Amino acid sequence: MYWNLFVSFLKIGFISFGGGYAMIPVIEYEVRAHQWLSTQEFTDVVAIAGMSPGPIATNSAVFVGYKVGGMLGAAISAVAVSLPSLLIVVLLSLFMYKMKKRNFMDDAFYGLRPVITGLIAYAAIHFAMQNDMIGTSKLLGFEWIGILFVIAGLGLLLFTKINPVMVILLSGVMGVVIYY
């Protein structure tokens, strides 16, 4: 199990381009493939990861590791997800000045960035479905409140300079008001 954690997050560490939310669906894929958590449980992990300081992808990895394998699992996940970038940064630093002129990563990003956009858009749809906000048989009921929450949150993020952490905290308070 520790080995699985290590390999999963090492893989994710190598491919985590685009930062932050781009890796959420990839981690979720691994988490589901190993049946570590349900998507709904993983949504809560992302919520906690988003409220904590630090990179959201690393935070999610650590939380998943903790849930699956306690303190040791958390440590293994943190090392595994950080190791690839450490290696790549060191290797690249060695060749940095030679590579500067002809950076083929620029070319790769031309195709990679739109794919990352698609990936994050997919994540939003997937998380909404897995949390019973869309695609359920119920048309009236809680999921409409959920959709309203999504629209309100998105509106705040797009049109004000609100800190994402505040959006999470605010919606938590609203959740208590409405559902408790």
Partner 1 sequence: MEKNKIKLLWDIFFTFFKISPVSFGGGYAMIPLLERAVTVKKKWVEEKDIADVLVMAQTVPGSIAVNTATFIGYRIAGLFGAIAGTIGIVTPTFLIIVALAALFLSFQHNPIVEAAFMGIRPAIVALIAYAAITIGKTAIFNTVTGIIAGVALILFLFVPVHPIFILIAGGVIGILLNRKRVTSKHVAKQGADQHG
Residues 92-131 that bind partner 1 (CB under 8 A): 92-93, 96, 103-128, 131
- Report the distance separating Cα 158 and Cα 100, nearest Å: 35
Q: Does 170 bind partner 1 (CB under 8 A)?
A: yes
- Report the distance separating Cα 175 and Cα 169, nearest Å: 10
- Provide the minimum distance between the beta carbon of 36 and partner 1 in the complex, in angstroms, as a whole number: 13
Alpha-carbon dihedral angle through residues 78, 79, 80, 82, given to the nearest 10 degrees: 80
Q: Does 51 bind partner 1 (CB under 8 A)?
A: yes
CA distances, 114 to each of 17, 110, 120 (Å): 12, 7, 10
Task: Give the residue with the Cβ less far from partner 1, 1 or 155.
Answer: 155
Task: Give the residue with the Cβ less far from partner 1, 1 or 41.
Answer: 41
The interface mask with partner 1, positions 55-84, x = CB under 8 A, is: xxxxx--xx--xx---x--xx--x--xx-x
Task: Give the residue with the Cβ less far from partner 1, 4 or 131.
Answer: 131
Contact partners, residue 6, CB within 8 Å, separation at least 6: 76, 77, 79, 80
Q: Does 7 bind partner 1 (CB under 8 A)?
A: no
Q: What is the largest CA-CA distance in the chain?
A: 61
Q: Does 150 bind partner 1 (CB under 8 A)?
A: yes
- Provide the minimum distance between the beta carbon of 19 and partner 1 in the complex, in angstroms, as a whole number: 6
